[in-house]
Structure formats: structure tokens, C-alpha cells
Amino acid sequence: MHIALDAMGGDHGPQELIAGALLAIDQTDLTILLVGDELVLNKHLSAIPISQQSLERLKVVHAPTAVGMDENPVDAIRKKKDSSIMVAFDLVKTGEASAAVSAGNSGATLAAAVRKLGRLKNVARPGLASIFPTIKGPVVIMDVGANVECRPVHLYQFAVMASGFSRLYHVEKPRVGLLTIGEESGKGNSLVKETYALLKASHLNFIGNVEGRDVFQGDVDVIICDGFVGNIVLKISEGLAEAAMKMLKDEIVKSTMSKIGYLLARPAFKIFKKRVDYAEYGGAPLLGIKGTGIICHGKSSAYAIKNAIIEAMEMERLNINDTITRDLENGISSLAKGV
Amino acid sequence: MHIALDAMGGDHGPQELIAGALLAIDQTDLTILLVGDELVLNKHLSAIPISQQSLERLKVVHAPTAVGMDENPVDAIRKKKDSSIMVAFDLVKTGEASAAVSAGNSGATLAAAVRKLGRLKNVARPGLASIFPTIKGPVVIMDVGANVECRPVHLYQFAVMASGFSRLYHVEKPRVGLLTIGEESGKGNSLVKETYALLKASHLNFIGNVEGRDVFQGDVDVIICDGFVGNIVLKISEGLAEAAMKMLKDEIVKSTMSKIGYLLARPAFKIFKKRVDYAEYGGAPLLGIKGTGIICHGKSSAYAIKNAIIEAMEMERLNINDTITRDLENGISSLAKGV
């Protein structure tokens, strides 16, 4: 299988992305297409020791331009048709790659994917899912930022798509929850109330409303919300985890005894960090497009990139998009029958 | 000053609330009106050793019924006009108390406050503010759940009210941020975009959009959002903090070395916990009503209740409502002038 990697995106530059590709090659039988400025990429490649065997599975595909992290996504992909992100999704379109992975400008990646590949049948709005760690196992939250204003049917479709995606975590009948501000069915804004009825009538394993406090408890596999709320949830969680760690460390360094204690407990901290680190979960899959696309955090490490590449491979191997398409078809017929 | 305490609300029952009242009496010159079933309350009071001096500043006001935590708020306050929460706000209305504090059913407290006291002049929607700890100092977020669907003018009024409230934290010119999903002015849903223009044109110290990740950085004093988003932010933050602590402890207890390390570092953990504990910040003030009302977490400890009572006292001493009324008047004239 071939996976296209936007080798110009991300905060750490091409070397980190190439390192991620090398890790992925070591752990799989994938071929990675490194998309970007060939001069730059070849220079990086020649600077690191790579076996001939690995080099054969690491191909540079030239893209003369790149979209900057701060560029307006829509403008950027219209003007830069030859940018690494556009070329990466072009490779998926032509079948030269099975999936594309990018840690670059998220909005541009989203726009490029939809523009190049188009939407799956019966999908009104492709969306971004994100995997959150919980006390028990991962939970998939969708949408986390692709669609700022949503209608109930969009949220229903997110539920179908995110349920399909949770096959990646071997969940048989994913429990779907609707994110709102009270557990009773009458609670929430009008979008939530209307969506509740739609999910209740669907074939999905809908367990009802969930509140913010339930997100990290692990008693639900899929949580649905609009992209405005979902993006705030994502950023709040990242921000809180970072701030809490900083505050805790600030206190620990104030006394020698605490510092010694921290050193002794460090292995536990490391395992904890690994359990909650987004890098473990690869990237955020863009669901609802004809193809597979993964959007990674800008500051992704090589390790995170490797996991995102493997995630893309698994999504393809499990034919997640076939599941989604079939479930949307089934959903339409069962909703029509009033089931 | 007299403060009315709903002595029947909360998960821990009257004894915890009475303990909170006693702590408040020790630290202030307040008189606390304990509102609830006098038989129950007097029984609790007689069971604990209290000095005559303290007892004189702890008065029981009889209320024969109480609203349960799971009752429908609007139904409950309509049917139970003699409930502890309704009587507590009645005492504020008649001037027998300067403020009311409740850890009972939040929705009922909100409804009782608005019903009994009415709205301040120029306030379309009273709202709930909450104080969050950050790396630097506290930040006030409003609305955290009173108003699920909002118009831009409501968010503008929340900004004025929360700015007034931040006087409690001695902030001279509170920096106001609008919670959304991108820093540029064009980012967000339509509510946010319209509110942006209103805040920009106002006399407030509006610093622009803030993202979820900025909430805990401490570079903004007041964050504005609708009650749906705000409540999710509140619950997510609580849930994440609890889940992270649980996950970390699960790892620590797995090895003896980690456990010893944790014991050595425990003082640092304790200070950290105190820094982020909601109990330190009292309760959530209900802003925009003619009077002062504080809504506490259902599981508030005596310590949290004490802090909420002191918070109510400070709000009254600083005449926060006068500030809000004056600022709303000024705001209307400056917005009208196109300033």
C-alpha cells in the first residue's frame, strides 16, 4: 500500500516528517510518497543514513509550493494548485496513493481533500473526528472543527461516520452519545433536541445525551457535536492538560523533597503521559470523503506521524468508507420506514 | 450583613452546609440565615458544639419543603413556593438578607432568583459566571449554563456583567475575550461573528477572539460564550481534571517506588490541588438579578460553602450590581454614539 505524506507541513519541518515516514516503513510494509519540494526533501534524505531497502519504499513526489500554517485555507488551495497538500490528495485521487496524511494547515488540508476527492454518497458534510483518551479506552468525538454551523442531519451523519470509524478500535456496537448540557432528552439547544429525535429513530446504538463530564469516563464510544463545540472541547482539553502539568511541575520544583519524589514516580508519569498523549492516537481522520485523509497536529513528532500513517493504513485495510456508505444507505431506508 | 443559605440543598445534606456557615461566621462578622426545615436544622444544630456567640449569628428560617436535585426546576419552584430555595431569595427580596447562597438544584436556584428578584435594568438575560483557575490568576467565564440559546446582545451584556464581577479580583481594566475556534475576527459561528462587532464597538477592554487553548493561560480576565458552550467547557474541565488525576494515581500505585515518590511529592500535589480546586473559588455568581445569588456545586464541601458565602459578602460590599448597572447605561450611550 502507498500512503502520501505532505512532507512540507507541520511546525517541525520536513526532517521530523521524514523521520516519521521512516518509523512507519520499519513497522509496516508500506511505501511512503513524500510530497514536497524535491530539492529540499532530497537534501534532507541524503543527510541521514537510510538503508537501500528503506529508500526504495520512500519516494519523493515533487510539489513546488507549500501552504503556510497561517494562510487562508480557501485562498491558498485555489492559488497553490501545485502545493504539497494538493498534490498529496491528487495522488489519492489518481489511485497512486491509498491515503494522504498532513500535519500542515488543517483548513487547507480539509479543503484540499474535499475539493480533490469529493464527498461519499449521502454525506452532506465531511467532518473531522478526533480520538480522546479516557479512563477506559479511546472515545471518538466528531465533528471537531470542520463544520461550524450544523443541521440535525449533519450530526446524524457524523454519528454514522464516527461509528464506522470506531471499527478501528474493534468496537462491535459503538455506543453513541450526543454532547449536551443535561442528561434528559429535553436538555440542550434546538440543534441538540432535533438531533436527539433523529438519533433515537436511527439504527445506531444511541445511548442518549452525554455531558462534558462523561467525555473522559469511557462509557461511550462515539460522541457527536457540531464543529464549533467540538473544536472548543478539543482545544480546552489540550490547554487544560498542558496548564495542569505546568502548574503541578511549578509546585514540584519548589522543594528538593518533591523533586526527589517526582524522580522516583517518573516512570508512572511517563506511562500516564503516554496514555493521554495525542501522539499515540495518530491524527484526526477526515470522514465522509471518497478516500482516506488524516489531519495531524501541527506540532506532531515523528512518532505521531508514524502513528497517523499506520492509522491511515488501518482505515484502508478495514474499508471504513465502505462501512460508512453501507450504514448511511441502511440508515436512510430504516429512517424512511420509521424504524 | 445577613446572608441566606439554602440549608437543604447539596449532595452532602444540612450538616455540611451548617459546617460551612460556621466557618464563615468564624472568619467574618456575618449573620447567616439557615433556610430549611426547622426541625431538621435544629436537630443538626443541637448535635454539634457551638458557642452561644456563634449561635446568635446563625438563625434558622423555616421553609417546610425542599427542591430535590433531580426535580424539573420550573415545575419545582412553581409548586414549592415554600421551598428553602424560594424562601432564601424571598429573604433577599424583603431585605432581610443581602444575598442568597445555594448548593441545591442549580436550575431551580436560577429560576427562583429571577422569579423573586427580577432582572437588573437593561439586562435581557441574567447569566451564570464561573471562575476558572489558570497558570496566572483566575478567569471569569460567562455564561456557563443559564442561557442555552443566545443573541449577540446577550453576549455583550454578559461581557459587561462579568467585567463588573471581576472587580472582585481587583482587575482594573478586565481583558475581555470572545470564545471561538480561531483567533482571527472572521472565525466562528454567526453568533460569535456578530458579537465580535458589538464587543469591538463597545467601551469594554475587548482583546478579541480567544480559543479553548487560551482559557488556562491567564492572559485574559473575562471569557464570553453562550450557556451551551460555557456549560460544556465547565463540565469538560471538571471531568478531565478528575479523569487525569485518576489515571495518574492508577499508574502511581502500580509500583512501590512510584508510591514512595508520590508520598515525597505529596505537599506539591496538595498545593496544586488547592490551586485548581473549584472549592477555592466559592460558587458561580448569578449576574444580572436585582440582588446577589451564588450557585454552588452540589458536592460542595463546608470549605466551598464558606468561600461562596464570603464571595457573596464581597459582591455586596463592592456593590457589583451598581457597577453593572452603570456600565450597561454607559454602554448603551456609547454604542448609540457609535463609539
Q: For residue range B155-172, what is the model confidence (pLDDT) as tens digits?
A: 999 999 999 999 888 888
**pLDDT surpasses 60 at A219:** yes
The reported pTM is 0.90
Q: Which residues contact A14 (CB under 8 A, 6 or more apart)?
A: A7, A8, A36, A40, A41, A44
Strand order across the A284-287 sheet:
A58-62, A31-36, A2-6, A99-102, A292-295, A284-287, A127-132, A139-142, A222-224, A176-179, A206-210
Torsion of CA A265, A267, A272, A273, to 10 degrees: 110
> Once rounded to an integer, what is the mean pLDDT over residues A220-240?
93
Provide the percentage of residues in chain A whose pLDDT is more than 70: 96
Among A148, A239, A265, beta carbon nearest to B214: A239
Give B326 to chain A, closest Cα distance, Å: 32
A265 and B265 in contact by Cβ < 8 A?
Answer: yes
Question: Looking at the predicted structure, is the pLDDT value of residue B184 above 90?
Answer: no
Interface of B with A in 210-249 (CB under 8 A): 211-217, 227-229, 231-244, 246-248
Average pLDDT over residues B38-64: 94
Question: Taking 80 as the threshold, does the pLDDT of residue B60 lie above it?
Answer: yes
Number of Cβ pairs < 8 A linking chain A and chain B: 196
Is the pLDDT reported for residue A141 higher than 60? yes
Domain B127-280: give its CATH architecture: 3-Layer(aba) Sandwich (3.40)
Determine, for residues A181 and B216 on separate chains, whether the beta-carbon distance falls below 8 Å.
no
Residue A188 has what pLDDT?
85
Question: What pLDDT score does A338 carry?
Answer: 53
What are the residue boundaries of the structural domains of chain B, listed by start?
A: 1-123+288-316, 127-280
Report the alpha-carbon distance of residue B314 to residue B131 in Å, rounded. Answer: 15
Other Cβ atoms closer than 10 A to A239: 20
Least confident of A35-49, A267-281, B8-22, B128-142: A267-281
pLDDT score for A225 = 97
Q: Which residue has the higher pLDDT, A123 or A260?
A: A123
Please give the pLDDT value at position A242: 83
In CATH, the number for domain A124-280 is 3.40.718.10
pLDDT at B243: 84
pLDDT at A199 over 90: yes
Residue B335: pLDDT over 70: no
Structure-block grid coordinates of residue A21: 515516514
pLDDT at B186 over 80: no
State residue A325's pLDDT score: 96
ipTM: 0.88
> Would you call B188 an interface residue with chain A, using a CB distance cutoff of 8 Å?
yes
* B107 CA: distance to closest CA in chain A (Å): 11
What is the C-alpha to C-alpha distance for residues B249 and A269, in angstroms, rounded to an integer? 9
Residue B281 pLDDT greater than 70, yes or no? yes
Candidate from A179, A246, A252 with C-beta closest to B232: A179
Cα B68 to Cα B293: distance, rounded to the nearest angstrom = 19
**pLDDT for A336:** 61
Q: Is A203 helix (H, G, I), strand (E, B) or coil?
A: coil
Tell me what the pLDDT averaged over chain A comes to. 91
> Is pLDDT larger for residue A260 or for residue B332?
A260
Q: Do A240 and B237 touch (CB under 8 A)?
A: yes
Chain B residues within an 8 Å CB radius of A192: 228
- pLDDT of A337 > 70? The answer is no
Kindly write down the DSSP assignment for every residue of B254-272, as one continuous string: T-HHHHHHHHHHHHHHHHH
C-alpha grid cell, residue A47: 543527510
CB B191 within 8 A of CB B199: no
Which of A232, A238, A253, A269 best tests the B interface by mutation, with the highest count of B CBs <10 A? A232
Domain B1-123+288-316 and domain B127-280 have a common topology: yes
Q: Is the pLDDT of residue B192 over 80?
A: yes
Question: What residues of chain A lie within 8 A of the CB of B240, using their CB?
Answer: 215-216, 236-237, 240-241
Distance between first and last Cα of chain A: 40
Provide, rounded to the nearest whole percent, the portion of chain B with pLDDT above 90: 69
CB neighbour burial string for B142-173, b if at least 16 within 10 angstroms, e if fewer: bbbbbbbebebebbbbbbbbbbbbbbbeebee
Cβ of residue B267 closer than 8 Å to a chain A Cβ: yes
Of A228, A243, A271, the CB nearest to B216: A243
Q: How far apart are CA B240 and CA A207, in angstroms?
A: 21
Taking the CA of residue A111 and the nearest CA in chain B, the distance in Å comes to 16
Confirm or reject contact between A261 and chain B (CB < 8 A): yes
Smallest CA–CA distance, residue B240 to chain A, in Å, is 6
Q: Cα–Cα distance between A35 and B334 in angstroms, integer?
A: 54
Q: A164 pLDDT band (50/70/90 cuts)?
A: very high
Q: Does A197 touch chain B (CB under 8 A)?
A: no
Mean pLDDT score of chain B: 91
Q: Does position B285 have pLDDT exceeding 80, yes or no?
A: yes
pLDDT score of B179 more than 90? yes
Contact B268 A248 (CB under 8 A): yes
DSSP track, A11-39: TT-HHHHHHHHHHHHHHSS-EEEEEE-HH
What 3-state class would DSSP assign to B284?
strand
Whether B252 and A268 lie within 8 Å, measured CB to CB: yes
Higher pLDDT, A312 or B242: A312
Residues A261, B264: C-beta atoms closer than 8 Å: yes
Q: Cβ contacts (< 8 Å) between B251 and chain A: which residues? A: 268-269, 271-272, 275
Within an 8 Å CB–CB cutoff, is residue B256 touching chain A?
A: no
CATH tag for B1-123+288-316 (out of 3.40.1050.10, 3.50.50.60, 3.20.20.80, 3.40.718.10) = 3.40.718.10
Higher-confidence position of B333 and B14:
B14
Could you tell me which residues come within 8 angstroms of residue A22 by beta carbon, excluding any fewer than 6 positions away? A50, A54, A58, A302
Tell me if B331 sits within 8 A of B160, measured CB to CB: yes
Average pLDDT over residues B195-209: 94
Q: Which residues contact A9 (CB under 8 A, 6 or more apart)?
A: A17, A66, A67, A69, A84, A85, A102, A103, A104, A105, A109, A298
pLDDT at A255: 85
So what's the pLDDT on residue A33? 98
Q: Which residues of A touch B212 (CB under 8 A)?
A: 231-239
Q: How many CA atoms lie within 13 A of A304 on its CB side?
A: 21
At A244, list the grid cell: 495542569
CA distance B98 to A39: 73
Residue A305 grid cell = 506521524
pLDDT of residue B339: 44
A contact test, residue of B248, B254, B256 with most A CBs within 10 A: B248
Whole-number pLDDT of residue B336: 61
Lowest mean pLDDT among A20-29, A123-132, A251-260: A251-260
Angstrom distance (rounded) from CA B62 to CA B66: 11
| pLDDT for position A137 | 85
Measured distance CA(A120)–CA(A285) in Å, rounded = 14
Look at residue A248 in the predicted model and tell me its pLDDT: 83
Q: Region A292-320: what's the mean pLDDT?
A: 95
Mean pLDDT of A130-150: 92
For B253-262, what is the mean pLDDT?
86
Q: Which amino acid is at A87?
A: V
Q: Which CATH architecture has domain A1-122+288-318?
A: 3-Layer(aba) Sandwich (3.40)
Please answer yes or no on whether A181 and B269 come within 8 Å at the CB atom.
Answer: no
Across the interface, which of B215, B242, B243 has its CB nearest the CB of A236? B215
Say what the pLDDT of residue A339 is.
45
A246, A265, A276: residue with CB nearest B252: A265
Query: Given an 8 Å threshold on Cβ–Cβ distance, is B239 in contact with A265?
Result: no
